[in-house]
Amino acid sequence: MAATDTASAHAASSTPVVLEREPLVLNNRPFSWISNRICGIIENKQPFLWWILFVPSVILTGIMAFCFVYLISTGVGVWGQKQPVDWAWDITNFVFWIGIGHAGTLISAVLFLTRQKWRTSVNRAAEAMTLFAVMCAGLFPAFHVGRVWMVWFLAPIPNANAIWQNFKSPLLWDVFAVSTYFTVSVIFWYLGLVPDLATLRDRCKPGLKKALYGLFALGWRGANRHWSHYETAYMLLAALSTPLVLSVHSVVSFDFATSIVPGWHTTIFPPYFVAGAIFGGFAMVLTLMIPARAIYGLHDLITPKHIDNMAKIILLTGTIVGYAYSMEFFMAYYGANPFELQTFKLRALYGPSTFYYIMMFSCNVFAPQVFWFRKLRTHLPTVMVVCMCVNAGMWFERYVIIVTTLERHLVPGAWRVFHPTWVDVTTFVGTFGFFMMNFLLFLRFLPVIAIAEVKGVTPQADPHHGDSHDHGIQEDDVMGYEPASCTAPKGAAVTA
């Protein structure tokens, strides 16, 4: 009834009609409910399922550590790569994990700058996931160098041999890009955590826990004179991270694109890699958040709207990735380079690893197409299945790019099909354990949802809530479409 009135009023003044927005926190929860629910995860005993997941993760981490010790003590040859396939599972895994690490900063930074307030429920977990994924990623190139104790040679510091790095090499760019990405992600994540650590500090009884949370909360007292600078800092970090997140996977793709290997030497790689990274990263966020939401009862905070939005991003980026696959193929034909075309024919049609190409294409391009339908975007089992497909598909994609190219190099006499060894497989599986272990510890000790940010997007956090309309703060961000009835805050002399 009221909606009709508003609609006709707007039609008369030819102002676009503002539709009611879906709330970001369901059931009109008060601030204290949000604190209790999120801090409760940390303060209460962990559910049995947490232990069921944690114990195998620790075991897998141990297996991973064992594999690395075995590799160090024996040599990098325990992995299956041999000439000409010098890069195989290790670099595939590196690119795979780095890609997963892109969603966190994307959700935090890009969605922050574009005022997508729904990000608040998922950004913390996604940022944590980023850090752990980048940690997993960093392991592979570090051990791939062979003599891991010499890995400090990558850093531009004076050494006894007076050798300096080659700054013209994309591999060195990669070192800078990935380490900058990790550092900036840690800063961004930690800055976001500070107010929430203060919440945890204020809820704890005096003791070691309170002291530790207090130490990391830096004495935060929620003063607006602090919030004012804090918000500027947060926005700056978002603005810095946005080009950073795009640069990291671009630089990773330069590892391939700046070489003259047929199948790698293409200009489409940077955007194609970035789209793929966002795609795979969102799939991993959903893979982790849907179970976490069910286990910890976070249904009012991570709503079907959140899942729906992320599914839409997966559909969009999946389609971009599909376009890139097709365009890559088209350019191989159109470029009229026989080596390039032959590489693609071997990749997709009759090479030894065609299976991987088919898996890649069906998991990454066909599977997400179900997300055209709203019903399926919010049907959790479907979303989980599609996300699992995407997770697997993105690994296949990197395998296809790296291994199938090297398997069929320019000279047929040097052709060799790659076979992984048991060390390849267990190391990779082990990194999943390492990733899960870190994520579960994060769930156990730190707030999985950004408490302060979620409070800030509730209707009652709006100082003009209920003034002349009752839609709450979420209407403010309908860019340029503020209703005529929306009055400016009384006496709010907004200083420039």
Partner 1 sequence: MSTTLKRVHGYLAEFDSVKDLYHAAEHVRDAGYKRWDTHTPFPVHGMDGAMGLSRSKLPWLVFFGGITGTTTAFLLEYITQAVIYRTIVQAKPATIMSLPAWFPVMFELTILFSAFTTLFGLLAIIGLPRWNHPLFTSKRFGKFSDDGLFVCIEARDPKFSQEGTKTFLEGIGAKNIELVEDDI
- Binding to partner 1 in span 115-174, by CB under 8 A: 156, 162-170, 172-173
Q: Does 494 bind partner 1 (CB under 8 A)?
A: yes
Q: Is 190 exposed, middle or buried (0-12, 13-18, 19+ CB in 10 A)?
A: middle
Contacting partner 1 within 455-474 (CB under 8 A): 455-456, 460-467, 473
Per rule CB under 8 A, is residue 264 in the interface with partner 1?
A: no
Nearer to partner 1, 184 or 389 (CB): 184
Query: Is 313 a residue that touches partner 1 (CB under 8 A)?
Result: no
Total number of residues that touch partner 1 (CB under 8 A):
79
Q: Which is nearer to partner 1, 249 or 377 (CB)?
A: 249
Using alpha carbons only, give the angle 116, 118, 121 rounded to the nearest 5 degrees.
135
* By the rule CB under 8 A, 191 interacts with partner 1: yes
Q: Which of residues 314-373 bind partner 1 (CB under 8 A)?
A: none
Task: Spell out, one character per residue from 234 to 263, where the chain touches partner 1: x when CB under 8 A holds, - when not.
Answer: --xx--xx-xx--x---x--x---------
Told to check if 208 binds partner 1 by CB under 8 A, we report no
Q: Which of 92, 67, 98 is nearest to 421 (CA)?
A: 67
Indicate whether 202 belongs to the interface with partner 1 (CB under 8 A): yes
Q: How many CA atoms lie within 13 A of 96 on its CB side?
A: 29
Quote the CA–CA distance of 278 and 318 in Å, as a whole number.
9
- CB-nearer residue toward partner 1: 13 or 495: 495
Binds partner 1 by CB under 8 A, chosen from 50, 68, 227, 432: 227
Nearest distance from C-beta of residue 15 to partner 1, angstroms? 22
User: How many residues in total does the chain contain?
Assistant: 496
Q: How far apart are CA 287 and CA 392, in angstroms?
A: 12
Tokens matching residue 151? 């890995």
Q: Tokens 């055209």 appear where?
A: 372
- Specify burial of residue 194 (Cβ count, 10 A radius: 0-12, 13-18, 19+): middle
Looking at residue 23, its amino acid is P
Q: Please state the separation of Cα 31 from the chain's center in Å.
A: 28
Phi, psi dihedral angles at 445 (to 5 degrees): -115, -15
Binding partner 1 (rule: CB under 8 A), the pick from 2, 12, 479, 493 is 493
Q: What is the Cα–Cα distance from 334 to 340, expressed in whole angstroms?
A: 10
Give the nearest distance from C-beta 124 to partner 1 in angstroms: 14
Q: Which of 64, 184, 288, 401 binds partner 1 (CB under 8 A)?
A: 184
Does 68 help bind partner 1 (rule: CB under 8 A)? no
| Out of 124, 201, 347, 377, the residue judged to bind partner 1 by CB under 8 A | 201
Tokens linked to 24: 């970001």
219 binds partner 1 (CB under 8 A): yes
- Cα 309 → chain centroid: 15
Q: Does 265 bind partner 1 (CB under 8 A)?
A: no
